[in-house]
Amino acid sequence: MNGVSDAGADRAQHPYRRPRDAAALILIDRSGRVPKILVGKRHHGLVFMPGRLVFPGGRVDPTDNRIPLASALPKALEKRLQDGSPKIEAARARALVTAAIREVCEETGLCLGRKVTSKVEAAQAMRLSGAWTPFAEAGLLPDPSQLYLIARAITPPGNIRRYDARFFTAEASAIAHEVKGIVHADAELVELVWIELGAPPLADMHPITRRVLAELEKRLEAGPLSHRHPELPFFHYRAGAMQRDVI
C-alpha cells in the first residue's frame, strides 16, 4: 500500500469512506554517492495502484499495538505521531510504527529488528506468529528505534481506498533479516528495486509519493535524520486540490 492514490480504479467516485490508519516505510541506502530508496512494483491485477511503483506499506492491523518490541518508541517520535488533529493515543502511535515494520517484512521479506538479548525477549519472540513468524524464526523483535517520521497524507474523498497514512524512513542498515521468495510474479509486489533519488523512474510515481520524496530529500540535505525536525508535512485534499499543511 502506498498511502494515497487516485490512479486506475481510484479515479472513480465512490461513497464517502472514512480513512483507515496506514503506514509506509521508505528504506534508504546511503552507501553510494547518491542515496537510493527501495520501491516495489505492484501486481497489475490489483485494484489499488495496479502496476505502480510504491513504497512498502499498508493499513494498521488491530493487533499491531500489542506486538512486543525490542525497545519503546523514542519519546520524540511518539510525540510527533500524536501531534496534529485529531490527537491520537500512545497505543495508536505505537501501532502505526509497528505496522510499518510488519508491512515491509510482509511485502519485501526485509525485517527490521534486533536480536533478543534475554530469556524474556526470547520468549516474546517465540510467541510471534502469522505475519511476524519470520521474526520468531530469526530470534528477532521488531525494532522501532531507527524509524523516522517524514510526512502524513490522507487519500482524497471519493476513492475506492482511503488511508490516513504516515510515511516513515529508515536506513538499509536497520535490516536485520531477509526472507527469500516474498517478491515474485504472483505476489502483491512483483519486483523490488533500489533507485537513486531523482532518477527518472521516480517521476512516474503518484504526485503525493513524489511530494513525500521531496520532503525526504530536504531532510537528508539538512543533515542527520532527527525526530525533532521542526516541520511535519501533512498532505490532504480540499475542494479537489492537494494541500500541504505543517503539523
The C-alpha atoms of residue 42 and residue 27 are separated, in whole angstroms, by 17
For residue 203 the three cell numbers come to 517521476
Domain range annotation of the chain? 8-246
Regions in the chain scoring below 70 on pLDDT: 1-16, 158
Whether the CB-CB separation of 105 and 111 falls below 8 Å is answered with yes
Whether the CB-CB separation of 54 and 95 falls below 8 Å is answered with no
Closest by CA to 79, choosing from 71, 70, 88, is 88
Residue pLDDT, tens place only, 187-229 = 999 999 999 999 999 988 888 889 999 999 999 998 889 898 8
- Exposure b/e, 61-97, CB count within 10 A at least 16 = b: beebbebbbbeebbeebbebbeeeeeebeeeebbbbb
The predicted structure's pLDDT at residue 129: 97
CATH topology of domain 8-246: Nucleoside Triphosphate Pyrophosphohydrolase (3.90.79)
Residue pLDDT, tens place only, 81-100 = 999 888 899 999 999 999 99
